[in-house]
Amino acid sequence: MTTHEQLVAQYEAYVLENSKFEDKDVMVSASRARKALAEINKLARARRKELQEEKEKKKAEKEAEKEAK
C-alpha cells in the first residue's frame, strides 16, 4: 500500500470515527479519531519527503537529457 493510499485510508477512518463521536456520542471514537489524525500527520510528513525526492529525481533526469543533447 502506498503512502498516498494509507493517507486516504486514515482520513476515511478519521471521518468515520469523528462522525460516530459527534453524532452518536461514542466516546471511544474520539480516541480513535485522534489516533487517525496522528497517523495522518506521520504519513503526511513521509509523503512530503517522497514528493520532494521524486521532484528532485525528475529534475535531475531533465538536466541529464539537456546535457546529452
Specify the pLDDT at position 3: 97
Contact in structure between 39 and 10 (CB atoms under 8 Å) = yes
The reported pLDDT for the residue numbered 69 is 73
In the block, cell 513521509 appears at 46
Residue 27: the pLDDT is: 97
- Closest-CA residue to 16 (of 26, 6, 1): 26
Q: Name the residue ranges covered by the structural domains of the chain.
A: 3-68
One digit per residue, the tens of pLDDT, for the chain of length 69 reads: 999 999 999 999 999 999 999 999 999 999 999 999 999 999 999 999 999 999 999 999 999 998 887
